[in-house]
Amino acid sequence: MNDQSLSGVGGLVCSTRMRGTRCDVATTVGLVGSYGGLNAGDEAILTVAIAQLRAAVADVEIVVFSRDCDHTRRHHDVERVVAADAAEREDLLAEIERLDLMLLGGGGILYDREVDFYLRLVRLAQKAGIATATYAVGAGPLERPADRASVAEVLNRMDLITVREAAAKRLLEESGVERAITVTADPALLLEADPFTERMLEREGLGAGLRLIGMSVREGGRAMSEIAETEYHDLLANAADFMVDRFEAQVVFVALEHKDIREAHRVIGRMALPECAWVLKRSYGPRQLLGLMEHLDMAVGMRLHFLLFAASAGVPVVALPYATKVRDFLRSLDLDAPDPERAAHAGALLSRIDRLWDRRDEQIDHVRERLPRRQDAARENVRLAVDLLNRAAAAAS
Our CA angle for 168, 174, 175, nearest 5°, is 90
Looking at domain 3-183, what is its CATH homologous superfamily?
Glycogen Phosphorylase B; (3.40.50.2000)
Any idea where the domains of the chain sit in the sequence?
3-183, 198-373
Distance CA 112, CA 281 (A): 33
Distance CA 376, CA 361 (A): 24
Domains 3-183 and 198-373 share a fold: yes
**Which uninterrupted H or E stretch holds 212?**
strand 212-216
Q: What is the per-residue pLDDT for 221? A: 64
Q: Minimal CA–CA distance to 362: which of 328, 334, 325, 329?
A: 334
Q: What is the per-residue pLDDT for 193? A: 98
Fold of 198-373: Rossmann fold (3.40.50)
Strands 14-17, 20-23: pairing kind: antiparallel
**Segments in the chain below pLDDT 50:** 1-20
Predicted model pTM:
0.92
Q: What is the per-residue pLDDT for 224? A: 56
Q: What is the per-residue pLDDT for 269? A: 97
